[in-house]
Amino acid sequence: MFIIICSSLLFYRFTLELWGKTLHGTIYFDLYEPVKKINLWTVILFMVLGYMNFKFLIVTIKSLLKIIFTVWVVIIVQFSPMGQIEQNVWVLLSAFFFVYLEVLLDINDSFFLLKDNFKIPKINFINSTFIKDNSIALSIFCLGVINTILSYYIVDLLKVITEFSLGGR
């Protein structure tokens, strides 16, 4: 299990570096370091919650974070004395934390929905027991795959958003 979790963490770290490579030389590169740190702290919190194995606590924290972000963060930031740029950065970084944690928790939960007789033909060791025992590492790996896919489209998406926002003024 230790090798699998270390491998998934290394893979995830690599996918974050793909973002850095993709964003390098763009106006968005300044956001890369804070986003990378928040992503890594999110994964660490996910691992702590997952290895504690208290389902009720996880659901409570997930619900609390959802309420905090969707209601209170938006209200606090909206009515704070911060300037528009600081508000935008605060909401952006908060969104990365809350959404990534929720995605990790959802992926992890989906692994436990597998039927007990699930197995992949020709790869005998990948069965429902293996997946459930290593769900935390596999969740991090899946998020890494999502990051890899996003790294190929993120610059194009950001260009479209920038062009749209400049054209909309």
pTM of the model as a whole = 0.79
Q: Domains of the chain: which residue ranges?
A: 2-53+101-167
Q: Bigger pLDDT: 62 or 131?
A: 131
**Quick one: which of 143, 107, 144, 137 has its CA closest to 5?**
137
Confidence check: pLDDT of 169 > 60 = no
Q: Is 105 left (phi over 0), alpha (psi -120 to 50) or beta?
A: alpha
Per-residue pLDDT tens for 71-125? 766 677 667 776 767 777 777 788 888 889 989 999 999 999 888 888 888 887 8
Single-letter amino acid code for the residue at 54: F
**What is the predicted pLDDT for the residue at 141?**
95
Per-residue pLDDT tens for 49-71? 888 877 788 788 778 877 877 77
Q: Bigger pLDDT: 114 or 138?
A: 138
